[in-house]
Amino acid sequence: MDDHLLLVIIGLLLVPLISLYSMVIIPAMFGLEIGVRRLYVKILVHIFEWGKQRIALASKQSGEEIVTSNGTVVTAQELIQRDKPNNVTEGFAGDSNNSIEKLKHSFELSDICYFARTGVESIIDDEVTKRFDAEELPSWNLLTRTNQNYQFLSIRLTVLWSLGFIIRYCILLPFRVTLTIIGILWCMVVYSIIGYLPAGKLKRTIYWHISLMTQRILGRCLSAVVNYHNREYRAEGGGICVANHTSPIDTVILGGDNCYAMIGQEQGGFFGMMQRAFSRAESHIWFDRAEMKDRKAVSMRMKSHAEDPLKLPILIFPEGTCINNTSVMMFKKGCFEINATIYPVAIKYDPRFGDAFWNSSKFSLLEYLILMFTSWALVCDVWYLPPMTKKDDESAVEFANRVKSAIAKQGGLLDLVWDGQLKRQQVKSTFKEKQQADYSKLLKAE
């Protein structure tokens, strides 16, 4: 009798769970939208607005707000304004009416003030290093990733934050982790089976649909709501798709609407198993450590792949590292040296529902995934831009910068010339020498 009761209880628990997972997985496999996630996002927006009003009211009562002359409530940081000169010459010029003749002078002790001021301003408002921190939010999104302790401003906010904490960690986290495991197992099993099919159109067609299914299922694991724009410009075979890079999840976001060939370094362990499963199903580009250091070998492999129109377009993130969803930093020129069509893509995440940026210097991949699983949702826009090719009189660097500028403009991102590897490396000595050379020209009266 006890055994029968146990089976009944297990059945009552499993049936709703299986039904719930089926309601998520089956529509994802066929690219269908039921509308639950978008309704969920709209409800969150209303809750955030209510929380914003409560925070403003509590701040006003505590006297911590700053009101400008036009009545706008801002923070102290927003009141700081300064005109940043482009170079040393402009810094010494000050007033635009000063002539260059006035700038030609011998060294004066007061010249140190300019360099001291510039150094302090760079520390306070560094446009580079703050691209490697979480994006600042206009209002609190009820997550714990803040040092402001908004949840303790009022009893109502505390209750709402506590309820959200329970939902995110006790309901969304286990559900999303289980769904991710299902998606990864599905991926490895199905790709391995496809690998036994003979090469040809049938195999490519099956892989295309299975890949879209897999990426869409993985997207559902994060409650992803993606708006794709200008889909007629999606990358085609024989081309290279380049996009700004915010997170490893970028591949899932783009892979849910198009099929790409991956490129990267060969891995061991679990990730190596996935790479081998991918390679058996379709042609991808994996390099060993020795090849990754050989730029010529990498370019040749990429060029050989891109010249075959039957192969999938290559997906590359030329920044080489993750940037915090506010800007686009320097593109590596490697893929732009190849005579192939470039398909630019701009990705912009909505930070209100969760910070998609992976700060690899601060969080491991596992820690980052836990943060994403416990976020409210993943909402973003993807813009496909018209394909671009290198002009006859254009260098690879100029072409890369032109593509980068187009992506930044479309995505509403800052277009920065700095190398994203500054996250891990020191500034090159050439940048310091440039400032010294500018000041030297003044002393020489050039």
Does residue 142 lie in a domain region? no
pLDDT at 386: 96
DSSP-H helix ranges across 2-99:
2-29, 36-62, 88-93
More confident residue, 99 or 383: 383
Q: What DSSP character marks residue 446?
A: -
pLDDT at 381: 95
**Tokens 């006003």 — which residue?**
60
More confident residue, 142 or 96: 142
pLDDT at 241 over 60: yes
C-alpha span between 69 and 30 (Å, rounded): 55
pLDDT at 96: 44
Q: pLDDT by residue (tens digit) across 209-239?
A: 889 998 999 999 889 999 999 999 999 888 8
Q: pLDDT by residue (tens digit) across 373-420?
A: 999 999 999 999 999 999 888 899 999 999 999 999 999 999 988 877
Does residue 128 lie in a domain region? no
Residue 423 structure tokens = 């996250």
pLDDT at 176 over 90: yes
* Structural Rg of the chain based on CA atoms: 26
Position 362 confidence tier, pLDDT thresholds 50, 70, 90: confident
Position 62 confidence tier, pLDDT thresholds 50, 70, 90: low
- Mean pLDDT of all residues in 39-57: 85
Cα angle vertex 153, ends 152, 157, to 5°? 75
State what percent of residues in the chain have pLDDT above 90: 26
- Mean pLDDT of all residues in 20-29: 76
C-alpha span between 127 and 132 (Å, rounded): 10
User: 322 — alpha (psi -120 to 50), left (phi > 0) or beta?
Assistant: beta
pLDDT at 358 over 60: yes
Position 9 confidence tier, pLDDT thresholds 50, 70, 90: low
Does residue 366 lie in a domain region? yes
pLDDT at 334: 82
Does residue 119 lie in a domain region? no
Lowest mean pLDDT among 136-140, 165-169, 201-205: 136-140
pLDDT at 27: 81
Contact 331, 318 (CB under 8 A): yes
The domain tally of the chain equals 1
The one-letter code for the residue type at 262 is M
Q: Domain range for residue 412?
A: 150-425
Position 69 confidence tier, pLDDT thresholds 50, 70, 90: very low
pLDDT at 389: 92
pLDDT at 168: 93
pLDDT at 40: 92
C-alpha span between 100 and 93 (Å, rounded): 8
On average, the pLDDT of the chain sits at: 79
Closest CA to 360 of 385, 323, 313: 323
Residue 103 structure tokens = 């700038």
pLDDT at 297: 75
Contact 258, 234 (CB under 8 A): yes
Contact 240, 342 (CB under 8 A): yes
Q: pLDDT by residue (tens digit) across 292-337?
A: 666 777 788 888 888 888 889 999 999 988 898 899 999 988 889 8
Contact 212, 190 (CB under 8 A): no
pLDDT at 246: 92
